[in-house]
Amino acid sequence: MDAQIAQLLDGKALAQKIQTELQQRIHELQGKIGRSPGLAVLMVGDNPASAAYVRNKERACEKVGIASFGQHFPSETTQTELEQVIHSLNRDERVDGILVQLPLPDHLDAVALLHQIDPNKDADGLHAVNLGRLVRGESGLRSCTPAGVMRLLAEYQINLKGKQAVVVGRSILVGKPMALMLLEADATVTIAHSRTHDLAAITRNADILIAAVGRSNLIAGDMVKPGAVVVDVGMNRITDDVGNSRLVGDVNFDEVKSVAAYLTPVPGGVGPMTVAILLQNTVWSYSQKSS
């Protein structure tokens, strides 16, 4: 008998479904609000990965009917110049979402810039006010990647109540908000990180295992509980001996697919969901204008 192969959690297909729903929602709201929703993505410097992400976001905006107010700045742009741009976007009635594309050049303080964004236009859901709303369980803009993971689990009707969830990684981008969202869904949550002793002993207890550290193939097959749900947030570019590069996650896909019940592919799992939630956040801010 063949070994059980995990069912793939298809983020790409779900992201397309969300985009279609957003298109409808924008169509309904446009008459009331009198304009399209607007998103401003600010990019500094010429990081090729960032440029690809920004293009991807702008294409997705165009597809659903969100106007792009993106701006691209040279690497030597100062903190003050960027703050002034953010302040003018905060005041711009056509802009519902503002996003600073990370990473930024070393001389810029990303957190300080983030705090200049109007919390109600914080499309990335990372402003301290929005993280505070998440902690308190209040409605508001949610961090895109963890919110995308939650939406993906919901789509496949994966029950989280009372389940043991382990989040590997404690970043403010993914790990911490992810743990809070799982807690909100009544899971029992453990956060593991680079200082954790015997990571495998902890991950083997997980009914739901979320890997978000940015280390390729960190989670091996023998670290996963049989029948677990494994979500791979990692996006790592690796190059083989002959110079071909490809994207892999934090999970060793080939090993884990015969142990887990559900598994996200990389690419095509969490990545498209992050962009879908970014658009959803922008439309949510936009929809507040009609109330």
For residue 98, the enclosing domain spans 36-120
Helix (H) / strand (E) containing 239: strand 236-239
Res. 1 pLDDT band, cuts 50 70 90: very low
* Any domain includes 44: yes
Whether residue 124 lies in the annotated active site: yes
* Any domain includes 161: yes
107 contact partners, CB below 8 Å, separation of at least 6:
79
Whether residue 122 lies in the annotated active site: no
Output the domain CATH number for residue 54.
Answer: 3.40.50.10860
Exposure letters 174-207 (e unless 16+ CB within 10 A, then b): bbbbbbbbbbebebbbbbbeeeeeebeebbbebb
pTM of the model: 0.95
Q: Tell me: do 162 and 116 sit in the same domain.
A: no
Q: Tell me: do 68 and 150 sit in the same domain.
A: no
Count how many domains the chain has.
2
The dihedrals phi and psi of 35, each to the nearest 5 degrees, come to -160, 170
Q: Tell me: do 115 and 151 sit in the same domain.
A: no
For the segment 25-47, the average pLDDT, to the nearest whole number, is: 96
291 is in an annotated binding site: no
Q: Tell me: do 153 and 254 sit in the same domain.
A: yes
pLDDT 10s digits, 76-135:
999 999 999 999 999 999 999 999 999 999 999 999 999 999 999 999 999 999 999 999
pLDDT 10s digits, 221-275:
999 999 999 999 999 989 888 889 899 999 999 999 999 999 999 999 999 999 9
35 is in an annotated binding site: no
* Any domain includes 166: yes
For the segment 143-151, the average pLDDT, to the nearest whole number, is: 98
Select which of 19, 57, 121, 250 is catalytic.
57
171 is in an annotated binding site: yes
Whether residue 101 lies in the annotated active site: yes
Select which of 96, 122, 124, 250 is catalytic.
124
Q: Tell me: do 224 and 261 sit in the same domain.
A: yes
Q: Which of 85, 120, 155 lies at the terminal end of a domain, its last residue?
A: 120
pLDDT 10s digits, 163-199:
999 999 999 999 999 999 999 999 999 999 999 999 9
**In contact, 241 and 85? CB cutoff 8 Å:** no
